[in-house]
Amino acid sequence: MVRHRTAGLAFIFVTILIDVLGVGLIIPILPRLVLSMTGGSPSSGAHILGLLMSSFGLMQFLFAPVLGSLSDRYGRRPVLLLSLLFTGVDYITMALAPSIGWLFVSRVLAGITGASFTTATAYIADVSPPEKRAQNFGLVGAAFGVGFIIGPAAGGLLGAVSLRLPFWGAAGLSLLNCLYGLLILPESLDKENRRAFALRSANPVGAFKILSRYDWVLAMTGSIALLGLAQQCLQSVWVLYTTLRFGWTELQNGLSLGLLGLASIAVQAGLIRTLVPRLGEKRSILWGLLLNFIGFLGFALAAQGWMMIVMMLIWSLSFVSGPTTQSLISKQYEANEQGTVQGALTSVQSLTSIVGPLLGAFVFGYFTSPTAPIILPGSPFFLGAVLIAFAAVLATSALRQQVASGGVAQ
């Protein structure tokens, strides 16, 4: 059992790592590809990029509960493997896309299959005892970190050769990972813990009902949503912002995101194991939100490129809060509900990835256009800081309710 648990966690780590590698490969070159297809300015290109990212989020929002419920019924393994297979197909579609329309088709497919993150986190909940969940969810963040060390840097290098080459690299990694899982991945959900597939829990609205069962979970979900909106604003304009403000190239953007990944590993694979036991889950979450707020203000106010690097390192310390929040919520539910719970949480994140990129792109496009009353490229980061402040208020209220109801947060 221990050997199966270790093999499963290793595969989930590699799965998320390769998923993030694929995403990281295309981050530095996607804005440039969009601009090459549209021939527009950075402000107009921001709107197209925002729509592309939102189409991904919309599909993930719709399909995350479906995949979560299917994994509760049929097990995690088949859902994960099929998602990985179609992720590879999506990257091939992007590599061959002759127009913006085809990029939208590929983003729709990616949103559907990208909901596999739901099943991956449910797998972690299956194989992790309650006292180890925060640490094991931290492995997810560490995988993101490793992926963002290698992916963006490799994407910048490959993109310098050809704008399409990173997509082929991402496709190859995804398909190899699918084969790897087919050979070694054990099933984590015992048959006696499975439950019938129910349409009411396999749609986004129905899935949210499981989160609304507890008032404190619902309040914490609101905090997660606001934080997700802020982060999506950042992701949607990062490359456009650094290119316009500091003249960074694709390679410089890739290397900067690689550094962020390295810091993420240090926090989520190492520091979280020390901080959470010492601070407790409640303080870890609140400190993370405070550092998030400081990071966004720093990005908005940075006057030179090196300041962005300093703020990235400070901001990375906030990553301790995400796995801790996820662990705290997962402890509230039974083993046969983890897929649905993780699907609902993924849908919340997906909902923010529908609205956030549009919001960030619109704000950036407006405040960098010639008709703007003031030129303010950092406006999406100021907006993000405001959203995080409200997220902190909701999280504080949620944690008080959780303790009052007999929870274990310290």
Query: Which amino acid does the sequence have at 393?
Result: V
Q: Does a structural domain hold residue 64?
A: yes
Q: Does a structural domain hold residue 192?
A: no
Quick one: how many helices (H) and strands (E) in the chain? 17, 0
Write out the two tokens for 346: 């993924």
* Structure confidence by residue, pLDDT tens digits, 131-161: 676 667 767 666 766 776 777 777 777 877 8
Q: Does a structural domain hold residue 196?
A: no
Q: Does a structural domain hold residue 194?
A: no
* Structure confidence by residue, pLDDT tens digits, 187-226: 777 776 777 666 665 666 666 778 888 888 889 989 998 9
Please give the biggest Cα pair distance in the chain. Answer: 63
Q: Does a structural domain hold residue 84?
A: yes
- Count of CB atoms situated within 10 Å of the CB of 355: 18
Q: Does a structural domain hold residue 193?
A: no
Q: Does a structural domain hold residue 395?
A: yes
Answer for the pair 99, 142: CB distance below 8 angstroms, yes or no.
Answer: no
| Residue 81 in this model has a pLDDT that exceeds 90 | no
Please give the model's pTM, rounded to 2 decimal places: 0.67
Q: In CATH, what number is assigned to the domain containing residue 245?
A: 1.20.1250.20
Answer for the pair 128, 244: CB distance below 8 angstroms, yes or no.
Answer: no
Cα–Cα distance, 185 to 10 (Å, whole number)? 9
Instruction: Give the range of the structural domain holding residue 64, as residue numbers without chain letter.
Output: 2-186+202-404
User: Of the candidates 152, 118, 133, 114, which has an alpha carbon nearest to the alpha carbon of residue 24?
Assistant: 152
34 vs 380, which has greater pLDDT? 380
Q: Does a structural domain hold residue 197?
A: no
For the chain, what is the domain count?
A: 1
Answer for the pair 207, 343: CB distance below 8 angstroms, yes or no.
Answer: yes
